[in-house]
Structure 1
Amino acid sequence: MTVVDETPSRPADAKGRVSELHALREQARSGPSERATEAQHAKGKLTARERIALLLDEGSFHEVEQLRRHRATGFGLEAKRPYTDGVITGWGTVDGRTVFVYAHDFRIFGGALGEAHATKIHKIMDMAISAGAPLVSLNDGAGARIQEGVSALAGYGGIFQRNTRASGVIPQISVMLGPCAGGAAYSPALTDFVFMVRETSQMFITGPDVVKAVTGEEITQNGLGGADVHAETSGVAHFAYDDEETCIAEVRYLLSMLPQNNRENPPTVESEDPADRRGDVLLDLVPADGNRPYDMHKVIEELVDDGDFLEVHERWARNIICALARIDGQVIGIVANQPQTLAGVLDIEASEKAARFVQMCDAFNIPIVTLLDVPGFLPGVDQEHGGIIRHGAKLLYAYCNATVPRISLILRKAYGGAYIVMDSQSIGADLTYAWPTNEIAVMGAEGAANVIFRKQIAEAEDPEAMRVRMVKEYKAELMHPYYAAERGLVDDVIDPAETREVLAAALAMLRTKHADLPSRKHGNPPQ
């Protein structure tokens, strides 16, 4: 079979042909039918063009391959050859800066990927890499176009290869606005950030029907791979929102914090928040007693410009906070222990989360500020059997490999291996500061005293009184706030109220930092 001949008689004059062009463009822009648009809206979803209009600055979109159609035959496809082939590609601007985009049009073949559809995506990805500009994918597709067979699968391979080639070169953002099943789910997983919308977006490798057939478990699509599942449990989604409008607005906000590519710095802005603003309230927010919890979010609000920051993976691994913010107009990445959850310990998921974030910051020239209040790694059989050594090493590797400016601040506890892993001076932090409430030690005083003075405590007439005495002695000898400063392990002990000013000055000084890693093909980080 051959593709049906749809060649009409062409107008003879130029004006007629221009009119024909505009008619074809209008046909491509309007989509298959009003009924299909209404069906999309009935699901609480916008059309592909409506989404692009929300993402990009008004009037800035330039479409590529608008009149592209598939050339497949069989199963009736030769009679169904809509323009765009179910994906809209092009570029525009966000706040005046170039951004490339592709958006699946669910109204056409359910957004399923065929050969022409895939090559359009390949082309726009290649253009984004060549131009050195971010790529945003607005995903709403039913997977591979089964009628086209293996050609569709090869199309996915080309996308994955380009995702990998672009990694660390340009920011890649995946916005999940509908279903994403099977191999298609691997493309978002290869990108820097994944956004999802509750109720309407799902991601999974095998759907509920397959799960039931193989395991007997019954589960809904949202229960298996909905936004909340991936934002809270799997860690696949970095952000989850209730509606598309809010989701896409946050994508724009994220782009405002990122550089165009790995050769540029993130955009700086003029800040009306004074760099030397004192934070006297910090003395009240952080208890001197290391056993009392507090909310690290409130500390971050006091330190950053206008108290504004964008938290990444807000609902996954809550014992560590990763966020983008600005200090004196300069974009920074913040990694901070959260004493309010699991006392701020490092565990498998927290290590994974922070390692990925540190790598992203390093790739895109974002200075890293680390706020420490960490009692150690989470003990337990599940953690050890789950590979806490390997996963903790990921965070260690990420910090050691990072060449961007790195500043660490010890608020209270910094114990054992977790202290070293959280960007200590010994693994290359450019500057390390501490508050007078710091406790830097191999372990907590109680545990250390029980080990060092075990014999004296056991032989004492009053073992408990002896233990209390030994704990105080250990604290006085090895855990006073200036012990680390005396040995050059911190660069300065600072007044908490002056923290913002100190960080701003350090970041300004480090803007010209240059560091090179040894020549190599690539490292071999723990996986």
Structure 2
Amino acid sequence: MDPEDIKALQTARDRLKDAARPDIVTRVHGTEKLTARERIELLLDPGSAVEYGGIAARTRDGDWVGEAGGVDFVGKVDGRPVIASSTDYTDHGGGYGAGRLGRLFALAVEQRWPVVMFVDGGGSRARHPRAGMGHIETSGPVGRFSFLDGVPELSGWAPVVAIVSGPSFAGHASLAGFSDFLVSTPGSSIGMGGPPMVEAALGQRLRPNELAGSEMHERGGGIDLLVADEPAAIAAAKRYLSYYDNDELDGAAPDVDLDALAPDAGKPYDMREIVGAISDVDSVFELRPRFAPALLTCLARIGGRSVGVLANQPLTDDGAIDHDAASKIARFVELCNTYEYPMLALIDTPGCVANWDLKGQDPSVEPGMTRWHARPLIAHQQRTVPLVSVQVRRGRGLGAALMNGVSSTRGVPALRLAWPGVEIGRRDGYSAVVDHNAFDDVIAPRETRERVSRLLGMFGRPAPRERKKHPIDTW
């Protein structure tokens, strides 16, 4: 082979590195962000990265041309294979064609590898007349999937993490929406139509963050976590993946007197303290903390084993389950079921409520209340992972069923525990006898962690599956 050809190829590859574009790197760092390659370097284990599409084409003059708009890799995170992709907003606005990601999504489906994507940009950039968000790029490698059907195929099969750190519109926003864990940074924005489209259609000139800011999405449940910066977002992505397909670890028990934390009747308390006292030290990772805050959804470990924790939060709306909380329960049950996380439900709720915050509207016009509260029951009916329920205090009306499933279905808890101060049913003069046969046992709070850990240890690891159970709801 002609040495000059090898030299020309190496020169073209060197031009893709950050060292070859110091002005752009300085500009990116001036916005307190990382370059696309720095993001991937921080995400993947050292020495594990295998790049895809570094060289994408050759001109008629014989010059090698690199992929534009982003970088794509296969590598490892904490020793486990991962697809890693980052758009590059300084290159064609972060837009790039469909073929490369379609190829990588096919690998992810075939191997059941998680995907982590930085998706700031304004949509795809079609290099070929037929390339774009809905077509395989015919000028590049053809994968099994097009740009937007690969991620839905992954839903419920392998974790998909999206990081938005900047403006994310059109196709990039769609990729973010398909993920099962979406983390963003302050000042970012996510929307289907960017400011130019809005101005053309409505005559309103808005900045990206005014149009679809991440802070708005955090309150509305559109993102799972808002963190300070890109290194924190990458750390959150790695932590989320750490619960997936993980061997049991040595989990340290917290040095907490759970009996002292147990709530007295009628007194407010923070359920997060109880979640932390039952879980392994420093293992609790809360998802969507500002959306439907009367309901906590956390990944954690108990006795070294990954679990999903559902818990009512009496500090907010007394722990009542409105339609947002019902939606939050349903999606979390789906997530835990697809990734085989056993579940723990900590119950203290006065039951279900309508959303009365309608700014003077007639509450009766709010659509689909019964449908929203049916969603958790349907999710529990599909659930095949074991669930242990602990009634901490109240479980009135339909509230307990939404947290742990209906007793007559296959979603019934594997173990039902109650603390001594539990309230059953309605508080009225008609109930002369309190029947504790609704529970498998009534225990002191300090016994809870050991009981839960011991029982979950009885359930073996699930057998490998050749197909997913079901997708995860995007909401």
- TM-score, with normalisation over the residues of structure 2? 0.88
C-alpha displacement of 1:42: 2.1
CA contact (8 A) 2:157 2:338 kept: yes
CA contact (8 A) 1:32 1:82 kept: no
SS at 1:151's partner residue? coil
**Structure 2: stretches of 5+ with no match in the other structure:** 137-144, 357-361
Counterpart Cα distance in 2 of 1:217 and 1:287: 52
C-alpha displacement of 1:287: 2.4
1:37 aligns with 2:20: no
Specify the alignment match of 1:498 in structure 2: 447
Q: CA, structure 1 residues 249+338, in 2 after alignment: closer, same or farther (shift >3 Å)?
A: same
Instruction: In structure 1, give the amino acid aligned to 2:84.
Output: V
Instruction: Pick from 79, 89, 97 the counterpart of residue 106 of structure 1.
Output: 89
1:288 aligns with 2:271: no
Counterpart Cα distance in 1 of 2:26 and 2:298: 38
Instruction: Pick from 175, 183, 205 the counterpart of residue 195 of structure 1.
Output: 183
C-alpha displacement of 1:111: 1.0
C-alpha displacement of 1:341: 0.3
C-alpha displacement of 1:24: 2.4
Could you report, residue by residue, the CA deviation over 1:375-418 in whole angstroms, capped at 9, with x for unpaired residues? 11113554872322111111111111110111111111001112
Counterpart Cα distance in 2 of 1:171 and 1:228: 24
Counterpart Cα distance in 1 of 2:448 and 2:401: 22
- Equivalent residues in 2 for 1:133-172, closer than 5 Å: 133-145=113-125, 151-155=131-135, 158-172=146-160
C-alpha displacement of 1:208: 4.0
1:223 aligns with 2:210: yes
Q: CA, structure 1 residues 344+513, in 2 after alignment: closer, same or farther (shift >3 Å)?
A: same
Instruction: In structure 2, give the amino acid aligned to 1:119.
Output: G
Specify the alignment match of 1:88 in structure 2: 71
1:398 aligns with 2:379: yes
C-alpha displacement of 1:331: 0.4
Instruction: Pick from 366, 379, 390 the counterpart of residue 385 of structure 1.
Output: 366
C-alpha displacement of 1:219: 4.7
| Bigger shift: residues 43-52 or 382-391 | 382-391
Q: Which has the higher helix share?
A: 1
Instruction: Pick from 337, 342, 349 the counterpart of residue 362 of structure 1.
Output: 337
Q: CA, structure 1 residues 196+158, in 2 after alignment: closer, same or farther (shift >3 Å)?
A: same
Could you report, residue by residue, the CA deviation over 1:208-264 in whole angstroms, capped at 9, with x for unpaired residues? 4544565566654223322211111x21110111111111111111111112xxxxx
Specify the alignment match of 1:351 in structure 2: 326
CA contact (8 A) 1:295 1:338 kept: yes
Specify the alignment match of 2:141 in structure 1: none
CA contact (8 A) 1:300 1:307 kept: no
Could you report, residue by residue, the CA deviation over 1:79-116 in whole angstroms, capped at 9, with x for unpaired residues? 99851222211211111111111111222211113xxx
1:247 aligns with 2:233: yes
SS at 1:164's partner residue? helix
- Equivalent residues in 2 for 1:317-328, closer than 5 Å: 317-328=292-303
SS at 1:376's partner residue? coil
Instruction: Pick from 107, 120, 128 the counterpart of residue 127 of structure 1.
Output: 107
SS at 1:268's partner residue? coil
Instruction: In structure 2, give the amino acid aligned to 1:439.
Output: E
- Equivalent residues in 2 for 1:56-71, closer than 5 Å: 56-69=44-57
C-alpha displacement of 1:283: 3.0
C-alpha displacement of 1:20: 3.3
| Bigger shift: residues 184-193 or 15-24 | 15-24
Q: CA, structure 1 residues 322+158, in 2 after alignment: closer, same or farther (shift >3 Å)?
A: same
Instruction: In structure 2, give the amino acid aligned to 1:154.
Output: G
1:21 aligns with 2:5: no
Specify the alignment match of 1:435 in structure 2: 419
Q: CA, structure 1 residues 215+343, in 2 after alignment: closer, same or farther (shift >3 Å)?
A: farther
Q: CA, structure 1 residues 183+412, in 2 after alignment: closer, same or farther (shift >3 Å)?
A: same
Alpha-carbon RMSD: 3.1
Counterpart Cα distance in 2 of 1:357 and 1:162: 22
Identity percentage of aligned residues: 29
Could you report, residue by residue, the CA deviation over 1:133-175 in whole angstroms, capped at 9, with x for unpaired residues? 1111111222133786663232499222111111111111111
Query: Which structure would you say has the larger Rg?
Result: 1
CA contact (8 A) 1:32 1:107 kept: no
Instruction: In structure 2, give the amino acid aligned to 1:399.
Output: H
Instruction: In structure 2, give the amino acid aligned to 1:239.
Output: L
CA contact (8 A) 1:411 1:438 kept: yes
Q: CA, structure 1 residues 398+25, in 2 after alignment: closer, same or farther (shift >3 Å)?
A: same
